Amino acid sequence: MDHTANEMMTIAAARPLRNEDVCFVGIGAPSAACNLARLTHAPNITLIYESGTIGTRPDVLPLSIGDGELCDTALTTVSVPEMFRYWLQGGHITLGFLGGAQIDRFANLNTTVVGPYDAPKVRLPGGGGAPEIAGHCGEIFITMALSPRGFVDHLAFITSMGHGEGGDHRQRLGLKTKGPTKVITDMCILEPAPETKELTVVSIHPGVARDQITEACGWPIRFAETAVETPAPTAEELETLRALQERTRRAHAA
């Protein structure tokens, strides 16, 4: 079945999710990926949204963390302070999903400003809970479309810590979690190199050439010697994702 680049990104992000994961879900592409996993290979995954909904099983994708669909289908809803203090900082969340306006080669994220902080070209929505999620979830997946504007050589502002300056920077700062372990884009999947923690292409999506990836990245991107082709979406994955998106479209158009 034919598929779009965005569908490939969502499906590739869903596949590594495990049945036993407790996942802190972001709105947008992360929400689509997590719910696709729940509807296919990981039916018992525990999805948690920042508003305090635990074990939510939405029939349609939420517009925001305050969408009533999340609370209506959750096992329980707790206060935001409890969510962050007990669940997140207490080490109970295995995986967090994040996105950003900009990312650098060490998977640090910027969602604050483009340009100088005191006189920015663009002021972005800010960090919200992302800095805490980046620091306290067992590991982090990042979903972003690959583009020179988004994948930049240097961040003027780091909102959420990835691997900092690379190497053992997280450990030197006292962070005990893994940090970003995958960056899933519409062209490829990147993972941090074991020693340097520099993002490296490990899987290339079907129909994408290496030159396209190189041109879309703001730094000289590296390819793993063992880089493979991402398996194409299956009929089940595409049908489930499209049905979810269609239900969402109808619900939000009503």
State the catalytic residues. Answer: 50
Closest CA to 188 of 166, 200, 203, 173: 203
Among 201, 210, 244, 239, residue whose Cα is nearest residue 69: 244
Encoded tokens for 30:
């992360």
Question: Which residues, 6+ apart, have CB-to-CB distance to 250 below 8 Å?
Answer: none
- Per the DSSP assignment, residues forming a β-bridge with 199 are 192
- The answer to whether 57 touches 244, Cβ cutoff 8 Å, is no
* Contact yes or no for 184/136 (Cβ under 8 A): no
To 10 degrees, the CA torsion angle through 190, 31, 245, 231? 30
